[in-house]
Structure 1
Amino acid sequence: MRTLAVVGGGVIGLSIAWRAAESGWTVTLFDPAIGAGASWVAGGMLAPLSEGWPGEDAALEFGAASLARWPAFAARLTAVTGIELFTARETLTVALDSADAADLRTVADWVNAHELPGFPDATVAAAPDSAVTEGVSLSGGDVIPSSPAAATASAATSGTGPRPAPGAISAATTGQPGPSAEANPPTRDGAPAAIGTPGTERLRLLDRAGIRAAEPGLGRTVRAGLLAADEPAVDNRALVAALRSACARAGVEFRTERIVAEPVAGDVNLAGGRATATAENSARGVDFARGPDAAGAGVTPGALVLRELPHDRIVLAAGAASADLWPGLPVRPVKGEILRLRRRPSAPPQPRHVIRARVHGRPIYLVPRGDGIVLGATQYEAGFDTAVTVAGVRDLITDAEAIFPGIGEYEFAEATAGSRPGSPDNLPLIGYLDERVIAATGHGRNGILGVPVTADAVVELLAGSVLPAARAADPGRFTRSGTQSPRSVPSAPIHPGGTR
């Protein structure tokens, strides 16, 4: 029987453990506090399109490949556990000033012109000449300037491009929200049945009237919007519960022992240097939720050494703590604070869409839940600091009121902070580190989004092949020129019982 150790019990580790167990592996998952790290402190947005930016092609394509897998992944998980996951069907990104409105245009033009894995071809609507030369005039006198990409697309298709359906908003026209909500009819539980509709734009610009029709509760200072009909949201805590239940049903064994690193002098450091063996590091236990310096995570008698685990294969999915278990791995903690707000009877209804914006240069999101809103998120390079700060809470609430004034009537239910696992290029690390250890970490702000494609990619690696959609996430991209890249597929055979 093939044996697999998964080190880390966040949504990435849990999803890999579940899928591997269903594929015939005997799986043991190690984590002293399953689901208590960044997976617990998340908004649950699935928004690779509206968060994209020209030049970040690899991140867009990786995120889109995972987004396209989410409906089937969620349907399977719900069928196994009975736990519903989706809390919103669409994402609306809004702008408060002309500069941010221009950025929305840039994102829309770039994404709509991009071929994305797993998505049907999108329509790139032709813009009127006036829109190309002067920008699109929005109701109230606002203008979304056209980007060079829009001008190029229009010059090539002027007068011949497909026209949007009546009532739809294209990247070059304005009006009211179109029929996007029914493009992919909801399943019984309101989850999207599929991602992407042939012949429609993935991102559509909205003017003030369109925003009011989509979300009447937003502030009057909101002047433009970008609607992503294919970007839903899930309840991150329901996802943790569902994956843990699915793992248990599939026979995954849960163990709470801490895992320690065992750096070996001369090992290749993927960040460009070489690891150094020290007694302190080799005996340090790691709390995957709070890092190596958390209470109780110091020197750990009886802890298990990562490289001495007796399994055929090991998946390192310890999030921000991964570099403490594999010294030199280019993964770092990025602090984020979120608030959970509960709706009171006197408060306005929570938005139907995920709402994203930038206020005073700070990104913010409001994600609906059944009982209220998840409001996030701050972002600091602060190491493993998970204390919620007064300044963080102040900024989140102040910025949210600029977008959704009625939020002041909500009950303050929870403030939490976590450590996202960041990487140098905002792509995760998914691939072999040596002949036995596979990395599945470094997802940054997109851990929830990346669950389906990461699980697929690791299952493929365990089977001896590489998933094309995850090729850009190979950890070997960080290897110093002239050094050997980590193996893309294992060269050593699997031996029963994990002995080599």
Structure 2
Amino acid sequence: MHDVIVIGGGVIGLSIARELAGRKAVLVLDRGATGEGTSWAAAGMLSPLSEADDQDPFFQLCRASHDSYRKFIGELEDETGIDCGYSGSGLLCLACSEESANALRRRCEWQRKAGFAVENISGDEVRRMEPLITADILTALFMPAESSVAPRRLVNALRESCLKRGVEIRTGARVQGISKNAVRTDGLTFEAPGIVVASGVWSPELAGLDPPIPVYPRKGQILSLCMPPGAFRHMIRWHHSYFVPRNNGDLIVGATDEDVGFDRSVTPAGIGKLLADAQAISSHVGSYPIMETWTGLRPATQDGLPVIGPSAIPGVFYATAHYRNGVLLAPITASIIADLVSNGRSRVAIEPYAPSRFGNSGTDA
């Protein structure tokens, strides 16, 4: 019998399993192959400052996780020998309109007052930092502490680390339902006093959840371009689009945000918009080949917050609905869930993410 069953083998589930391994006997159940869902599709931006307009609790959670990332990655790489593609080159937020410029100035003001590293720079300074940018930039923010990681490499490292630490991983295990101390798959029942639901967009499929999780998918289309290494030196964000350069020169261009259910198709409209937005910022990118196009399904809730904490069923915990922040929040989510499973309480305030905010089903667990 295992001590803990983790449902979901993406970056969240594997991070939790890794954190618990050594203290607990852990089983991971994944409906497919580990890390081939939302985690595989992510861009890997670790950038809590770039979209934050105040220091609300969710920003504090993201920032705390970001601050732990360099240590998290260093330990993973030392343990597994797998390069996770971590880059600490910083991020540029661009404003091409007066409205965007005013928003960036307000963001810069509160972040500076709060003591964060952020610089307000001119369009000329942007072009000195990124010579391939051709758009007319009114103003920009440079956030030198923002970073990124290559999610596919990260998942590979997490899987290898879990195996080294004695975690059992079963792939192709479609979980049908849960109850106290038990998880049912297609013909098998696994028992454990601790159960963690980390199955992202698939979480609502699980029978017996209390409370039910109102998670729904938001499709993101994304692409990569083959560019020379160093062509872009920093992550770049503007409007709802972004560039994430990889160390090998690949440039990630993202992303759409579509409410289309579980449709994972790559569409001309979606990819066309990404390419048009990219070329509006840098006319040069249109000359480079497209390496890959893909989609991911982000697990979202109506209030935009993740679901982290104990369910109404004793021993069952939720770690899901991280939307666009699953990679960023993996270290702190793992720490929170490990604390809850081991000690029954979290050192981090998790009230805003409590499953109880959705009520309960009234079922007798």
Return the TM-score normalized by structure 2: 0.90
Where do 5+ consecutive residues of structure 1 fail to align? 115-121, 123-200, 265-281, 286-300, 485-499
Matches within 5 A, 1:55-66: 57-66=56-65
Asked if 2 retains the 8 angstrom alpha-carbon contact of 1:377 and 1:396, the reply is yes
Task: State the 1:394 CA deviation.
Answer: 0.3
For 2:78, the equivalent position in structure 1 comes to: 79
For 2:134, the equivalent position in structure 1 comes to: 219
CA distance in 1, matches of 2:315, 2:150: 33
How big is each residue's C-alpha offset from its partner over 1:41-83, in whole Å with a ceiling of 9 and x where there is no partner?
11100111111124x7122111111111111111111111122
Asked if 1 retains the 8 angstrom alpha-carbon contact of 2:135 and 2:280, the reply is no
Identify which of 191, 212, 227 aligns with 1:343: 227
SS at match of 1:222: coil
Where do 5+ consecutive residues of structure 2 fail to align? none
How big is each residue's C-alpha offset from its partner over 1:81-131, in whole Å with a ceiling of 9 and x where there is no partner?
1222213421111111111111111222233334xxxxxxx1xxxxxxxxx
For 2:175, the equivalent position in structure 1 comes to: 259
Asked if 2 retains the 8 angstrom alpha-carbon contact of 1:320 and 1:442, the reply is yes
CA distance in 2, matches of 1:104, 1:339: 26
Give the aligned CA root-mean-square deviation in angstroms.
2.3
Asked if 2 retains the 8 angstrom alpha-carbon contact of 1:313 and 1:436, the reply is yes
Task: State the 1:20 CA deviation.
Answer: 0.6
Question: 1:226/1:405 Cα in 2 relative to 1: closer, same or farther (>3 Å)?
Answer: same
Asked if 1 retains the 8 angstrom alpha-carbon contact of 2:9 and 2:35, the reply is yes
CA distance in 1, matches of 2:47, 2:333: 16
For 2:148, the equivalent position in structure 1 comes to: 233
Task: State the 1:230 CA deviation.
Answer: 1.2
For 1:10, the equivalent position in structure 2 comes to: 10
Matches within 5 A, 1:424-443: 424-433=302-311, 434-443=313-322
SS at match of 1:259: coil
CA distance in 2, matches of 1:315, 1:368: 34
Task: State the 1:263 CA deviation.
Answer: 8.8
How big is each residue's C-alpha offset from its partner over 1:119-148, in whole Å with a ceiling of 9 and x where there is no partner?
xxx1xxxxxxxxxxxxxxxxxxxxxxxxxx
Give the number of the structure whose alpha-carbon radius of gyration is greater.
1
CA distance in 2, matches of 1:343, 1:423: 36
Question: Which letter maps to 1:317?
Answer: A
Question: Which letter maps to 1:366?
Answer: F
For 1:103, the equivalent position in structure 2 comes to: 103
Task: State the 1:262 CA deviation.
Answer: 5.8
SS at match of 1:309: strand
Question: 1:263/1:335 Cα in 2 relative to 1: closer, same or farther (>3 Å)?
Answer: farther
Matches within 5 A, 1:385-400: 385-400=263-278
Question: Which letter maps to 1:81?
Answer: T
CA distance in 2, matches of 1:81, 1:356: 32
Asked if 2 retains the 8 angstrom alpha-carbon contact of 1:221 and 1:402, the reply is no
How big is each residue's C-alpha offset from its partner over 1:162-212, in whole Å with a ceiling of 9 and x where there is no partner?
xxxxxxxxxxxxxxxxxxxxxxxxxxxxxxxxxxxxxxx422211112212
For 1:412, the equivalent position in structure 2 comes to: 290
Higher relative strand content: 2
Question: Which letter maps to 1:473?
Answer: Y
Task: State the 1:349 CA deviation.
Answer: 4.3
SS at match of 1:456: helix
Task: State the 1:2 CA deviation.
Answer: 6.0
Aligned: 1:373 with 2:251: yes
Question: 1:315/1:475 Cα in 2 relative to 1: closer, same or farther (>3 Å)?
Answer: same
Question: Which letter maps to 1:260?
Answer: Q
For 2:325, the equivalent position in structure 1 comes to: 446
SS at match of 1:463: helix
Question: Which letter maps to 1:36?
Answer: E
Asked if 2 retains the 8 angstrom alpha-carbon contact of 1:454 and 1:470, the reply is no
Question: Which letter maps to 1:60?
Answer: F
Asked if 2 retains the 8 angstrom alpha-carbon contact of 1:95 and 1:101, the reply is yes
CA distance in 1, matches of 2:231, 2:299: 30
For 2:213, the equivalent position in structure 1 comes to: 329
Range that drifts further, 237-246 or 212-221: 212-221
Question: Which letter maps to 1:37?
Answer: G
Task: State the 1:10 CA deviation.
Answer: 0.5
SS at match of 2:214: coil
Asked if 1 retains the 8 angstrom alpha-carbon contact of 2:225 and 2:251, the reply is yes
Task: State the 1:448 CA deviation.
Answer: 0.6
CA distance in 2, matches of 1:356, 1:394: 18
For 2:37, the equivalent position in structure 1 comes to: 37
Aligned residues: 352
How big is each residue's C-alpha offset from its partner over 1:368-401, in whole Å with a ceiling of 9 and x where there is no partner?
1123111110001111111111100000000001
Question: Which letter maps to 2:143?
Answer: A
Matches within 5 A, 1:96-495: 96-114=96-114, 122=115, 201-256=116-171, 257-261=173-177, 301-302=186-187, 304=188, 309-325=190-206, 326=209, 328-343=212-227, 349-358=230-239, 363-369=240-246, 370-433=248-311, 434-464=313-343, 465-479=345-359
Task: State the 1:25 CA deviation.
Answer: 0.8
SS at match of 1:29: strand
Question: 1:324/1:350 Cα in 2 relative to 1: closer, same or farther (>3 Å)?
Answer: farther
